[in-house]
Amino acid sequence: MKIWNEIWDYVKMIIIVVVVVLVINNVVLINAKIPSESMENTIMTKSRVIGSRLSYLTDDPERGDIVIFHYPDDESVYYVKRVIGLPGETVEIVDGKVYINGSDTPLEEPYLPEPMEGSYGPYTVPEGSYFMLGDNRNNSRDARYWENKFVKKEKIIAKVLFCYYPLSQFGPVE
């Protein structure tokens, strides 16, 4: 009898651990792997990142946030990109520079590894949606190329917090 009580105690402990891990993984955090060079040099190919699923429960995404979201053309796929256009804004790319709402001054984007090539848009972001671009714009299949150009807020899963693999890239992602 005593052995069964001890086994039951171990089983209960394992169940509790599994439940806690599932709750953290499905409610609090998300683990994502970066499959392509689209976010280099901010996040390198094959890096692994952790995102907070709680970041946008009370706040809205801000320009410059790096987010994990359901790809609008195939919602079974997760993408990681940077928020560029906010709801109601018009985004236009002229000679590789991003302009918001017809501003004379382009966005300051120190995270770009090289100047972007080309002109795109204008794109008017619908209310409740966002316009996403990769940091490595010349090698990124981002909103400029998608059939459905905008990501609805409810399709944004998490804000990327930090990179944990490889260890040489360990630290916050900005």
| Known catalytic residue at 155 | no
| Cα of 29 vs its chain's centroid, Å | 13
Annotated catalytic residue within 81, 129, 140, 159: 81
Handedness of CA 68, 110, 170, 64 (dihedral sign): negative
CA 47 – CA 69 distance, rounded (Å): 17
Annotated catalytic residue within 2, 12, 33, 38: 38
Burial class (CB in 10 A: 0-12, 13-18, 19+), 96: middle
| Known catalytic residue at 153 | no
Q: What is the dihedral of CA 42, 121, 150, 125, to 10 degrees?
A: 110
Residue numbers annotated as active site: 38, 81
